Structures are given as C-alpha cells and as structure tokens.
C-alpha cells in the first residue's frame, strides 16, 4: 500500500512538472506565431523591407523575453 502511495505521489509531481513545461512551450509557440503574423502583414502591406524590419524587431523582442525568463537583467 505504501508503494502505491509513493508511486502516485511521484506521478502527480511529474504530471505537474510536465504541465508547467508544456504551458511554457505553448506560450513560446504563441509568441512565435504572433511574430510570424506581424511579419507577414508588414510584408504584404508595405513590402520586403518592412517585412524584414518586422522580423528583426520580433527576433530582438523574443531574445529579450528569453533572456529575462532565464534570469538575465539589463542594468
């Protein structure tokens, strides 16, 4: 009986950890998708140069978000 309790406790912890990591993964995909839509819209509306500029801004913003989430801070 004690083995089952330990097993289900470990399973519960693993499931929570997986759910948290999966949620972060989905947030990242949403951010990348938003950037892709922005780049596509800028390209279609204003041309290649605007699309490339929007891509650069999206990549820079994403890099800052990732750096901050890992504990890096600008001073």
Is residue 75 in a domain?
no
Is residue 36 in a domain?
yes
Give which of 60, 61, 43 is closest to 52, Cα–Cα. Answer: 43
**Lookup: tokens for 69:** 């989430």
Is residue 74 in a domain?
no
Would the pLDDT of 22 be above 70? yes
* Rounded Cα distance, 58 and 47, in Å: 17
Would the pLDDT of 1 be above 80? no
Return the SS3 of 38.
Answer: helix
Kindly state the average pLDDT of the residues 1-20: 85
The pLDDT value given to residue 57 = 94
* Rounded Cα distance, 56 and 72, in Å: 21
- Its domain, for residue 50, covers 2-69
Q: Which ranges of the chain does DSSP label H, i.e. alpha helix?
A: 2-46, 48-69
Q: Which is higher by pLDDT, 52 or 21?
A: 52
Kindly state the average pLDDT of the residues 63-67: 85
Q: How many domains does the chain have?
A: 1
């Amino acid at each position: 009986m004690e083995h089952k309790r330990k097993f289900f406790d470990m399973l519960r912890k693993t499931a929570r950890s997986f759910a948290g990591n999966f949620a972060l993964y989905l947030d990242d995909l949403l951010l990348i998708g938003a950037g892709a839509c922005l780049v596509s819209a800028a390209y279609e509306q204003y041309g290649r140069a605007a699309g490339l500029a929007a891509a650069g801004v999206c990549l820079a913003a994403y890099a800052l978000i990732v750096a901050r989430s890992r504990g890096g801070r600008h001073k």
